[in-house]
Amino acid sequence: MFDFNNAEMAKEKLKELVNKNVPKMSLDKLLKIDRFTYLKFYIDKATESEIREANTYFNKYCAYGYNNGKDIFSNEECTFYWGLKHGEMITDDNGLARRYYHYIKLGGREHKIELLLQYHPDCYEIEE
């Protein structure tokens, strides 16, 4: 079991994950998920700025399905409960948050994307 209270374990695992070059989520990857192919219509109408902002937003997360959906730190299947922050779920195994609700603007319209994504290793910092 992964223990975030063990600073050395956390540093080593984060270093390992950064060196793995974990793939990041993107609009292109989102469109490969059947239930989101409808967004192609809005992407075709989107400004370059909207596309850039949406990709910047999604790059904070691991690609959907990475590690077969298992937690990137513990390598375990997780169960979740809703956290206090809107749209975030917390894992039962190590308490890390994952985001379920995502809001992006494409083609002048805001879209609510319901997809459970893990934060990318680039988003974590270990304080010394």
For residue 107, what are its two tokens? 């083609």
CA distance 46 to 104: 11
Q: What is the pLDDT of residues 79-111, one digit of tens each?
A: 888 877 887 888 877 778 889 999 999 999 999
Instruction: Give how far the C-alpha of residue 30 lies from the chain's centroid of Cα atoms, to the nearest Å.
Output: 11
Distance of CA 75 to the CA centre of its chain: 16
Please report whether residue 1 resides in a domain: no
Q: pTM above the 0.85 mark?
A: yes
Q: For residue 1, what pLDDT band results from cuts at 50, 70 and 90?
A: low
Task: Note the pLDDT of residue 128.
Answer: 62
Q: Is residue 2 part of a domain?
A: no
- Across the chain, the runs of DSSP E, i.e. the strands, are 80-82, 88-91, 97-106, 109-118
* pLDDT one-digit tens code per residue, 49-60: 999 999 999 999
- C-alpha triplet 5, 78, 71: angle, nearest 5°: 65
User: In this structure, is residue 23 part of a structural domain?
Assistant: yes
User: How many domains is the chain partitioned into structurally?
Assistant: 1
In a domain, 57, yes or no: yes
Is residue 128, in this structure, part of any structural domain at all? no
For residue 93, the enclosing domain spans 7-123
Query: Which pLDDT belongs to residue 113?
Result: 97
